[in-house]
Structure 1
């Protein structure tokens, strides 16, 4: 495969991960702020689908394109900035996987509350707080990886 095409696909994957992460966080936060169970349920339903289609696809493609790029250029995987990026990718994954489950569960709880015409229950709010807190290291890791990809510091 052509190096520039591979690099392009890798950068597109990074953009998708960062973009969907930002969009999902924004839409979930804005829906949560309304305290409207039906709106939260609809938003979370779309967010879960977006995460499964876009984020999951990019999450799978990134290590593949990254490995192929490293192989093409002879870059050692576990050294320097690349090793740090891989470590951070693992951190992001450790926090992203539970977030996907949390979003699904928050959707289900909001749907139940909306169907019963109740307010969002304490269980939803507890999951939202965890979701929010997990987003910090998960999203922060992705931001750091992007910086490492651009700056390629000598570590």
Structure 2
């Protein structure tokens, strides 16, 4: 029963990590497309808050419960799919802190534009592009991690099956 309980928490954390992360990503993309600093500042404030309060803790819960599951099931951390999942998780995680910082910069730039009654400039668009492409890379990594968790195979093993 302990294993199933931990697995349940692990899956819920994955849903929160992926779901809230993707939701905030898409909301900030939609807000940025309006080019309206007031809309962007409002949405970015919520995105920064929810990523700090929900998405980030879900990542820590994900790694803790994943480790606990390997211990409970006796699966070594060196098992191909586990090791590759961990490596990819830490690569995606290494994108996360810069993404959070870029989100805060976008928020600050939009809030400053609102306060000054100005439009967003090329600096905003440059930071936004950086944030956008880091998000693309991060979510591609998350898709691969979830696929490995479900299939218990590495991408190389999937290709061998084709």
TM-score tier by shorter-chain length is over 0.9
CA separation in 2, counterparts of 1:57 and 1:99? 15
- For residues 96-127 of structure 1, the C-alpha deviation after alignment (integer angstroms, 9 at most, x for no partner) is 11000000010001000011111012211110
Q: Which residue of 2 aligns with 1:92?
A: 92
CA separation in 2, counterparts of 1:86 and 1:153? 13
Q: Which residue of 2 aligns with 1:133?
A: 133
Q: Over aligned residues, Cα RMSD in angstroms?
A: 1.2
Q: Which residue of 2 aligns with 1:25?
A: 25
Q: TM-score when scaled to structure 2?
A: 0.92
- For residues 45-80 of structure 1, the C-alpha deviation after alignment (integer angstroms, 9 at most, x for no partner) is 000001001111101111110111000111111321
Which residues of structure 1 form unaligned runs of 5+? none
- For residues 70-91 of structure 1, the C-alpha deviation after alignment (integer angstroms, 9 at most, x for no partner) is 0011111132111110011011
CA separation in 1, counterparts of 2:103 and 2:39? 14
Q: Say which SS state the counterpart of residue 153 (structure 1) adopts.
A: coil
Which residues of structure 2 form unaligned runs of 5+? 158-162
TM-superposed CA distance for 1:25, in Å, is 1.3
Stretches of 4+ aligned residues off by more than 3 angstroms: none
Q: Which residue of 1 aligns with 2:41?
A: 41
Q: Aligned residue pairs: how many? A: 155
